[in-house]
Structure 1
Amino acid sequence: MKSLDGRVALVTGGARGIGEAVVRAFVDEGASVVITDVLREEGRALREEIGAAALFCAADVTSEADWASAVAEAEREFGPVSLLVNNAGIVEFGSIEETDPRTFHRVLDVNLVGPWLGMRAVAPSMRRAGGGVILNVSSTAGLMGYASLGAYVASKWGLRGLTKAAALDLARDGIRVCSVHPGPISTPMTAGMDESITVDQPIARFGTPEEVARMAVFLAAEATYSTGSEFVVDGGATTGSMMLAASAD
């Protein structure tokens, strides 16, 4: 028996990158998965490749109506949703003064308001399923600050806090809520980043989407005593600076 047999999952930003890896990993473990994304062509292609275990639903995470439609399609096709991965996100670079209010709000809308809307939309379905697991994909930027990423950092710290509040609100319904904090992962979002940013990490390389997906499977299937918790997949990036440690010897 596979670890997610009979489970119905909804994965946002599921057409590529970490989301695609999570979709594939969940299907491999026996789940039926609804892929949502604004990238229609990529989403449909992934659904065609996977087959009957997947459904693609074009959706913008900032739209309450799109969330309602995605959950309704999931229930109509597969049954009540018991797994939600809030993975969709965007990043904008700029210092506090360089970032205009419209950009700041847009980042928060996608990265923070979107997951909040998703949890609201999926909670009744999870109750019908008898419980569930929500994974909010934050970032190491939800654990520490980064220059020129004020909007992104604010959104990911906010998502970390929202996770804890949701874990408390939904515990009575048998719904666990955890946050996942990837470090530098090789995805389209990080395609322009210099590999040198990993030089001071204990594991001095970019991670893969599959490594994050394996964490998601563990949290969905095995971490039955964890809720409101942070799980870091970052090559040790948040442990501190190896360079400073070496200079102190």
Structure 2
Amino acid sequence: MKKLVVITGASSGFGMAMAKQFAADGYPLLLLARRVEKMEEMNLPNTMCRKVDVTDAKAFELAVSEAEAVYGKTDLLVNNAGVMLLGSIEEQDPMEWKKMLDVNVLGVMNGMKIVMNDMKERKSGTIINVSSIAGVQPFGNHAAYCASKYGVTGLTAVARGEMSAHNVRVLSVNPGAVATELLGHTTDPNIIDAYNDWKESVGAVNITADDVATTIKFAYELPQAVSLRQIIITDTMQDA
């Protein structure tokens, strides 16, 4: 049997697409999200689904330990869970800032902390953090979201430096605009409409969650000695 893959935010979007692709190739999976029924509906083989909020470090660690007891040690952790609540600094509710920082940054750090020591001891393993193109360049109405995703990009680079001597890969994947449920988190309908209008105007509507999942799986399945440190993936027609 292949080695254990852990995916957070697996109830939709990139996470669900990754789950299906890895399962199709025979990987045992631990899928984590708050909507456990969505993961269970996929009915994937050799898969454990657990209702976990990544901001709950204890529940996160317990789920990983439970899966490892069945499938062996985690070889790949994909920190994919995230929220996107767009808004301007002067008008957005600060609680939305906090939610994004808690989930998008601290949730990723919780996951890394759970698996890093064991991967160092085994001198093998891969951590892939799903950031965003908004983690490498600014966008209007994205201030707090950019702050969270720049944070993911930065902490990934720091962790890579700490883990590379132990033959552990730490990668960031930075997708551009892709049609997923993520935009639906935003509470301002005017911002949602403007975002969709922008996507249509530049033609950035063809890239899919499956495309991003395929890219992540490719990066993982390269030899352990090969590290695609940072991958920016967008629709060809997205020019910003």
* TM-score normalised over the length of structure 2: 0.88
- Asked whether the equivalents of residues 198 and 206 of structure 1 are also in contact (C-alpha less than 8 Å), the reply is no
The answer to whether structure 1 residue 132 and structure 2 residue 125 are counterparts is yes
Matching residue's letter, 1:169: E
Tell me which residue corresponds to 2:65.
72
Tell me which residue corresponds to 2:214.
214
The answer to whether structure 1 residue 194 and structure 2 residue 196 are counterparts is yes
Of 110-119 and 96-105, more deviation after overlay is shown by 96-105
1:96 & 1:228 partners in 2: Cα distance? 34
Q: CA RMSD in A?
A: 2.0
The answer to whether structure 1 residue 40 and structure 2 residue 36 are counterparts is yes
Question: How high is the sequence identity, in percent, across the aligned residues?
Answer: 30
1:122 & 1:195 partners in 2: Cα distance? 41
Moved over 6 A (4+): none
Tell me which residue corresponds to 1:246.
none
* Superimposed CA distance per residue, residues 100-124 of structure 1 (whole angstroms, 9 cap, x where no aligned partner): 3222111111001110110001113
2:197 & 2:234 partners in 1: Cα distance? 14
Out of 73, 77, 84, the residue aligned to residue 91 of structure 1 is 84
Residues 12-161 of structure 1 correspond to what in structure 2 (within 5 A)? 12-46=8-42, 49-51=43-45, 53-127=46-120, 129-161=122-154
Q: 5+ unaligned residues in a row in structure 2: which ranges?
A: 185-191
- How far is 1:190 from its partner? 3.5
- How far is 1:235 from its partner? 1.6
- How far is 1:44 from its partner? 2.2
1:120 & 1:68 partners in 2: Cα distance? 9
- Asked whether the equivalents of residues 11 and 84 of structure 1 are also in contact (C-alpha less than 8 Å), the reply is yes
- Asked whether the equivalents of residues 111 and 155 of structure 1 are also in contact (C-alpha less than 8 Å), the reply is yes
SS at match of 1:148: coil
1:110 & 1:89 partners in 2: Cα distance? 6
1:150 & 1:233 partners in 2: Cα distance? 21
Tell me which residue corresponds to 1:165.
158
Matching residue's letter, 1:50: L
Matching residue's letter, 1:194: N
2:39 & 2:23 partners in 1: Cα distance? 15
1:8 & 1:207 partners in 2: Cα distance? 28
Tell me which residue corresponds to 2:189.
none
1:14 & 1:64 partners in 2: Cα distance? 17
- Asked whether the equivalents of residues 32 and 50 of structure 2 are also in contact (C-alpha less than 8 Å), the reply is yes
2:85 & 2:164 partners in 1: Cα distance? 34
* Superimposed CA distance per residue, residues 68-89 of structure 1 (whole angstroms, 9 cap, x where no aligned partner): 1121012112010010000000
CA change 1:108–1:177 in 2 (3 A) is same
- Asked whether the equivalents of residues 136 and 178 of structure 1 are also in contact (C-alpha less than 8 Å), the reply is yes
